[in-house]
Chains A and B, each alone.
Chain A
């Protein structure tokens, strides 16, 4: 059974999909994002079945290549592959051993030689997935590269937000925390602004990246970064927010001299119930995980009624199913494949 089954219902409008790798959302058009989100809907339906397993990706091999520890992203990709019937293997390795031994390019080529169709890569250094993509024709999915990008997280965030608010145009989405080192924030900025949301990033001045403010760079580079509003005061940022997203704060930031203490950080930047009063009454609360409750987010808020954090996790599997399926060269789940 293949995707080219003659009985497959034909859409008059072929779904938009041009990517052979998923490295970041900066080069995604709106119609491609829509393709992912609508396919994720069908995948979510599959995932919610009592026996969540379909043969759509039978014979397709996915290698999870993780150079950096990860629990949720790794598990999410493993499950996504398995639900669709793909063969999934996971390799976890420390970057240090790779530095001494086999190069990244060698490893990726070896995986391809073993007929890996897709390689899901997590790495502590920005650009690692790009390097891999340049040296193999296996599909590369960037599952986080240093401080740079985490496009599958951004797509699951978009999917989750879309489920609740529908059209994102004009919606105020506020990200609070370590913007400078956050790959989630970077990818979310591209995706959210592409769909027309008003994006506010908020953090202490030491954790805001340079050159993000349009006035800080030459006029001709306007399109080179997503248009966002920058705030250092959390109350002003949250004012009128539809969605508030707290970002994980790494404790290394304190040792790096970027923050006086986690305690001071929580005083000025923790997302609390009190501060959320400034948001719209029906606001939503998100977090890419793993959370440091009591640091960037108050425990009561994380488990409160506005929180859609667990939904993000479930949707992550569906979105990753959609992405693996799209990269396999198909765009619509046929009836047989979904059975």
Chain B
């Protein structure tokens, strides 16, 4: 019987409303007991001293690009799950834009097999909405559900045809699958390179207007209402989208939403100035992402929505790319940021800025995403995202006040594509426990 006892941390378990000093005992990969001095009752155990640290359920990411199969130069299931573990994540939902795309049982099973073989943490696959992510015919949702997908998404290529989107939402209800859409109207963004606004004007880059997102959010909400389906809106980035989602939720539409750490904390100014003054510009491809980094007013609305629950979850949209994908003309550079390893540190900015309290942030990174997609109703995942007895033995041990400097070269992820290199983040993942085993620790963990 393998027992791990985590002693004397501030245990935050939003699902159970717990926030206080306690021990967490994990036996054979399942949460056994949580409470003051519970660890002392266990005779034989591996022990960790979490005094002065915060202990939470392991984080859950609804939006991770593991790149395998097809793009192993950018990331593999091995490196991606290692990066996830470093970021405090114990469950990641793997996006469907692989090669081949995740539109068949064979493709899904290959990912699950590889995750079993080389993955460090739990990988839940996402299937395609349409075959080959081409936006033309529905992918076999029933077959995909049988293979174990937890949602459907065509990722960066939004389903543009409204009729097809409607039917995707309808069809998926049979298997209770959320349909996760990247809401940006391709006809409106065309070859836009960044948020349409004054920074794009300064740089002479074509813009992607906020309305390209908002028109699709509004359209897809209306379609979900018509279809009675579950619409999940990926990486919400504008204040206008927040208002649309709030109104839809208020009238009972089954819509859920996620926001990324970068859209919560970085603006379009990042692309040109990278934190420097306005005198001279750069073209920082590491800040190029779709949807693009927006404006201060959007950040404010997104933070408020995360606090209030209009946005259900923080999702990383971890999108690793190689150096050659970014060190080219800005128009040709691949969009996306590597994010798993900086997610908690970046999100902690909201807590330090006083925009959200720590338990609420933890909620949005644990039970929030689980409830959004109903992950815990799936076989074996009872209690996922909580520290309830019997739940998976997945824990993050955090120091919310530790400063650390982002060094992309030291990332476990193959993707070094972050605009945060050299910056100090306040909020560190000290250790990660998956299935009752330490899968990441910084050296600050004291084993008793």
Contact = CB atoms under 8 A, between A and B. Distances in A.
Given A125-B329, A146-B204, A131 B283 contact: yes
B282 interface: yes
Contacts of A319: none
A266 interface: no
A82 interface: no
B280 A217 contact: no
Contact of B331 (A24, A125, A134, A223): A125
Q: How large is the interface on B (under 10, 10 to 19, 20 to 34, 35 or more residues)?
A: 20 to 34
A147 B204 contact: yes
Nearest to B190: A256
A99 B324 CA distance: 12
Contact of A148 (B203, B279, B280): B203
A186 B200 CA distance: 12
A128 interface: yes
Contacts of A135: 327
Tell me the interface secondary structure of chain B in the complex.
loop
A123 B330 CA distance: 12
Contacts of B204: 126-127, 145-149, 183, 186
B308 interface: no
Given A26-B280, A130-B282, A224 B331 contact: no
A42 to B, nearest CB: 28
Given A103-B324, A224-B202, A225-B202, A210 B207 contact: yes
Given A210-B196, A221-B278, A223-B278, A131 B328 contact: yes
Nearest to A145: B204
Nearest to A179: B201
B109 interface: no
Nearest to A183: B204
A210 to B, nearest CB: 6
B278 A105 contact: no
B201 A130 contact: no
A127 B329 contact: yes
Contacts of A216: 198
A336 B202 CA distance: 42
A218 interface: yes
Q: B196, B199, B200, B203: which has the most chain A beta carbons within 10 Å?
A: B203
Contacts of B296: 218
Contacts of B202: 26, 224-225
Contacts of B197: 210-211, 217
Given A127-B329, A131-B329, A210 B283 contact: no
Contact of B283 (A26, A126, A218, A223): A126
Nearest to B282: A130
A43 B221 CA distance: 65
B227 interface: no
B332 interface: yes
Contacts of B278: 221, 223-224
A212 B203 CA distance: 12
Contact of B279 (A26, A127, A134): A26
A209 interface: yes
B205 interface: yes
A145 B193 CA distance: 15
Interface in B203-232: 203-207
B283 A127 contact: yes
A228 to B, nearest CB: 11
B244 interface: no
Interface string B291-326: 000011000000000000000000000000000100
A27 interface: yes
B328 A127 contact: no
Contact of A27 (B279, B283, B328, B330): B279
A46 to B, nearest CB: 32
B283 A130 contact: yes
A52 interface: no
Nearest to B272: A224
A131 B323 CA distance: 13
B351 interface: no
B281 interface: yes
Nearest to B273: A224
Contact of B329 (A24, A27, A128, A224): A128
A225 B329 contact: no
A211 B295 CA distance: 12
A104 interface: yes
Contacts of B280: 26-27
Query: Which of B202, B207, B281 is the most central at the interface, judged by chain A CB atoms within 10 Å of its CB?
Result: B202
Interface in B108-138: none
B120 to A, nearest CB: 34
Nearest to A146: B204
B332 A99 contact: yes
Contact of A209 (B201, B324, B331): B201
A135 B329 CA distance: 12
A206 B93 CA distance: 42
Interface string A208-245: 01111000111001011100000000000000000000
Interface in B322-347: 324, 327-332
A90 B196 CA distance: 35
B334 to A, nearest CB: 13
Contacts of A131: 283, 327-330
Nearest to B295: A218
A145 B140 CA distance: 46
Nearest to B329: A125
Interface string A172-213: 000000000001001000000000000000000000011110
A218 B205 CA distance: 20
A210 B328 contact: no
Which has the most chain A C-beta neighbours within 10 Å: B203, B279, B327, B329?
B329
B283 A224 contact: no
Interface of A: 24, 26-27, 99, 103-105, 123, 125-128, 130-131, 134-135, 145-149, 183, 186, 209-212, 216-218, 221, 223-225
12 contacts: A103-B324, A103-B327, A104-B329, A123-B329, A125-B330, A126-B205, A135-B327, A145-B204, A147-B204, A147-B205, A210-B196, A210-B198
Given A26-B202, A147-B204, 14 more contacts: A24-B281, A27-B279, A103-B327, A104-B328, A125-B329, A125-B330, A126-B205, A127-B330, A130-B281, A135-B327, A146-B204, A147-B205, A148-B205, A210-B201
The 10 closest A-B pairs by CB, nearest first: A211-B198, A148-B204, A127-B283, A224-B278, A126-B204, A209-B201, A147-B204, A27-B280, A217-B198, A125-B329
